[in-house]
Each structure stands twice: as C-alpha cells, then as structure tokens.
Amino acid sequence: MKTLAVVCVMGALVPGAALGAGPSPAPPATMVAQAAPAAPAAPAAPEAAKPKGQTATVVTVRGTVEAIDAEKQMVTVKGPKRSVTVQVRDPKKLEAIKVGDPVVAKYYEALAFEVKKPGTATPGVTAEQGVATSTPGQTPAGAVAQQLTVTATIVAIDKAAHTVTIKGPEGNTETVKARDPKNLAAVKVGDLVEITYTRALAIALDKTAKK
C-alpha cells in the first residue's frame, strides 16, 4: 500500500514519470530562456548630412568712358550711380578706348556656405584675387575677381529664433538667421562653417550701343 501511494504521488507531481509511460517532461522554463538566441541590436540611425548652399546674383550696367590716364593705364567708367576706375595693361587696347565710348559692365556676387564636422577644417581666413584682360584683336575688356573664405566655429544655436552664433578666427562673434530653419536639425555646437564670398567685375566696350 505504501509503495502504491508513493507511485501515485510521483505520478501526480511528474506526469509520465510513473512506470515509464508517456513522453519525457519538458525542460524547465529557465533552460528554455537560456537556449533562445539574443535579439539583434537595432541599427543606429544615420547622422543627417551637414547643410550647405549658395546664392548668386549678376547685375549688368551700361555706362560711358569718363576719363583715361594713359600714363597710369587707368580708365574711369561712369555708370548710372557711380564711377569705377579699372586698369588696362595692354597699350593697344588703351589706344582703342576714347572718352565717351559706351561700355557694358557685369557685376557678379556670390555667397556659399558649408557646415563641416569638427576636425575636418581649420578656423582661418584666406583671400585670392585675379585679373584678366582680353586677347589681342578682341574688343578691349578687363575683369577683376576677389574671393574671401572664412572658416568659423558655431558656439550657440537658438532653434526657437532660428539663429546661429558663429565665432571667427580672431575671436569675434556674430549671430546670423538661418534661411531654412530645417537645416538647424543637422547643426551642432562645435561644428565649423566655411563661408566663401566671391565678387567679380567685368567691363568691355559696348559695340551694341548706338552712338
């Protein structure tokens, strides 16, 4: 009787253990949890690209030759609002120009910016200038261009006001308003801003003008 009682109790506690009947018991829950493979980590979201952009304008102005300094090879051109003095290095071109001749001038101005990560650029200022003249046989003309590049550091961002404060290489600071507030989402304090300002002036005799 005691033996039968013990067997009945074991059968109640462990199904299938009595008399070797039925399938083997399932492994404990703790063992199942340890055997399950770990879930793969979620991939990190890619960092937003740093903003950059450019604006440019071209203005065409017509005027007349106001004065000629043959010794210094300088020609003064009078426009609607002001006069501009340019140098004509080729003596033959200078001889072909007379006071009162009509001229056409094109003024080009562009501003470009690019935000860069810290360490990818060095704060500073660089300047370049170039001069060009027409070749012999062409209409007397000349052009001068200047380009200034400033690399500054972002020291503050005000997303509510849509402004960014930058610090120049000499320590001066300036707060500018973002044209596109969405760009501020990809900008951080410590980032660098490379600003390139370009302007050029080209002047030539206006053959299309009626004398």
Quick: pLDDT tens for 106-122.
Answer: 888 999 999 999 999 89
Per-residue burial over 96-105, b = 16 or more CB atoms within 10 Å of its CB, e = otherwise: ebeeebbbbb
Range of lowest pLDDT (4-8, 49-53, 88-92) = 4-8
Model pTM above 0.75: no
| 177 C-beta neighbours (distance < 10 Å), count | 10
Higher pLDDT, 64 or 7: 64
Are 193 and 121 contacting, i.e. CB atoms less than 8 angstroms apart? no
Residues 23-76 pLDDT 10s = 545 444 444 445 455 666 666 556 678 888 888 998 888 889 999 998 888 888
Measured distance CA(118)–CA(109) in Å, rounded? 29
Give the pLDDT confidence score for residue 112 in this predicted structure.
Answer: 92
Higher pLDDT, 87 or 14: 87
CA angle (114, 119, 122) in 5-degree steps: 65
Residues 11-36 pLDDT 10s = 343 444 444 444 545 444 444 445 45
Measured distance CA(60)–CA(98) in Å, rounded? 21
Range of lowest pLDDT (67-71, 84-88, 128-132, 149-153) = 84-88
Give the pLDDT confidence score for residue 150 in this predicted structure.
Answer: 94
